[in-house]
Amino acid sequence: MKLFVMILIVIICLFITKYGRADFLVWQNEGFYNKDEDISGSLPSGPTKGSPFMLAMASVPESKDTGRNNIDLPKPKFKGSMSLEETIKKRRTERSFVSIALSQQQLSQILWAAQGITEERGFKRSIPSAGALYPLDIFVVVGKEGVDDVQAGVYQYQPAHHQIKCVVPGDLRKKLAEAALSQMWISRAPISIVITAEYGRTTGKYGKRGVRYIHMEVGHAGQNIFLQAESLNLGAGIVGAFADERVKDILKLPDEYVPLLIMPVGVSHS
Ligand SMILES: Cc1cc2nc3c(=O)[nH]c(=O)nc-3n(C[C@H](O)[C@H](O)[C@H](O)COP(=O)(O)O)c2cc1C
């Protein structure tokens, strides 16, 4: 029995090391955070306590959905034609788009940059995440003829299978633009990425300080989208001014999901 337990412990240790969890287990356990620290005074709407289920979610593999609402995206490419330095230099908030559809390859790159899994066998993603809890979800509002061979609608990105899943059909770009204080330029982009957070996934572990962590994470995702778009010779905009409840309603988001950022993407006029 003792031997069996020892072998089991060795196997668990090997598993943790192989799948890269050891590093974050170290900093989580060394008290580098203060669970009860209040950094904001006013928390965003939505729950801040995470259930054990929520905490587990980030590392539970999504089951591959083969339903007709799901689209397998082309594999992302890891080599581009623009250097990182040039991409950073060129990045600007784009607000003027021509009505040219994106290819599925371009959509694939943008979503992968925002939240794609970047390990062959592991679960870690393109952006860092406090405790590797991954509180962000990425939605894409696709306009009519916004992406080749993709119907207009709202899609949720599924990182584990690099798929998109249709959650609301129809061209909702005008409604989204109206919800963003009528910044109608948003409706002229072929797609808009909407980044949402489920706060409980992170605050369940880190308390109110988790709110700060999530806001850092959305910045990472936003910059990745900006840089990926630029390096594909596309343009991206960024929108923080919108009515949360209206965006939630348009995307039919679950109650716990809070929209944090809208990023229209397309071929730019300039
Ligand atoms: C968090 C955040 C929210 C923003 N919200 C909006 C917005 O609602 N509408 C808009 O037109 N630009 C918005 N911007 C873009 C800024 O106006 C823009 O980044 C700034 O003018 C600097 O220009 P650049 O991004 O082209 O370098 C936002 C930028 C950030 C970082």
Give tens-digit pLDDT for 98-109.
Answer: 999 999 999 999
Predicted pLDDT of residue 14: 59
Q: Where residue 264 sits, what CATH number does that domain have?
A: 3.40.109.10
In a domain, 11, yes or no: no
Separation CA 126–CA 114 (nearest Å): 7
Q: 1: which 2 tokens?
A: 């029995």
167-193 per-residue burial string, b: 16 or more CB within 10 A, e: under 16: ebeebbbebbbbbbeebeebbbbbbbb
Give, in degrees to the nearest 5, the angle at Cα 69 between 174 and 107: 60
The atom number, within ligand 1, closest to the CA of 185 reads 11
What is the band of 48 on the pLDDT scale with cuts at 50, 70, 90? Answer: very low
Backbone phi and psi for residue 26, each to the nearest 5 degrees, phi listed first: -60, -55
pLDDT digits (tens, 9 = 90+) for 226-252: 999 999 999 999 999 999 999 999 999
DSSP result, 56-74: HHTTSPPPPP-STTEEEPP
**What is the pLDDT, as a whole number, of residue 63?**
54
Q: Is residue 57 part of a domain?
A: no
The least confident of 2-16, 45-59, 72-86, 216-230 is 45-59
Closest alpha carbon to 175 in 260, 225, 242: 242
Within-domain flag for 241: yes
Q: Domain of 140? A: 83-270
Q: Are 164 and 156 in contact (CB under 8 A)?
A: yes
Global pTM value: 0.83
pLDDT mean over 244-268? 98
> For residue 14, is it within any domain?
no
**What is the tally of structural domains in the chain?**
1
Q: Is the CB of 240 under 6 A from ligand 1?
A: yes
In a domain, 218, yes or no: yes
Tell me the average pLDDT across 193-219: 98
The C-alpha atoms of residue 107 and residue 150 are separated, in whole angstroms, by: 10
Q: Whose CA is nearest to atom 11 of ligand 1?
A: 239
Whether residue 252 lies inside any domain: the answer is yes
Contacts of 63 (CB under 8 A, 6+ apart): none
Confidence of residue 254 (pLDDT cuts 50, 70, 90): very high
In short, whether 195's Cβ falls inside 6 Å of ligand 1 is no
User: For residue 95, which atom of ligand 1 is closest to its CA?
Assistant: 11
Residue 174 confidence (pLDDT) above 70: yes
Provide mean pLDDT across the span 101-124: 97
Q: Residue 126: which of 136, 115, 111, 135 has the closest Cα?
A: 115
Residue 9 lies in a domain: no
Distance 238 CA to ligand 1 centre (A): 5
> Does a structural domain hold residue 16?
no
Expressed in angstroms, the distance from the first to the final Cα of the chain is: 71
Per-residue CA distances from 54 to 58, 76, 81, 222, 256 (Å): 8, 28, 40, 24, 11
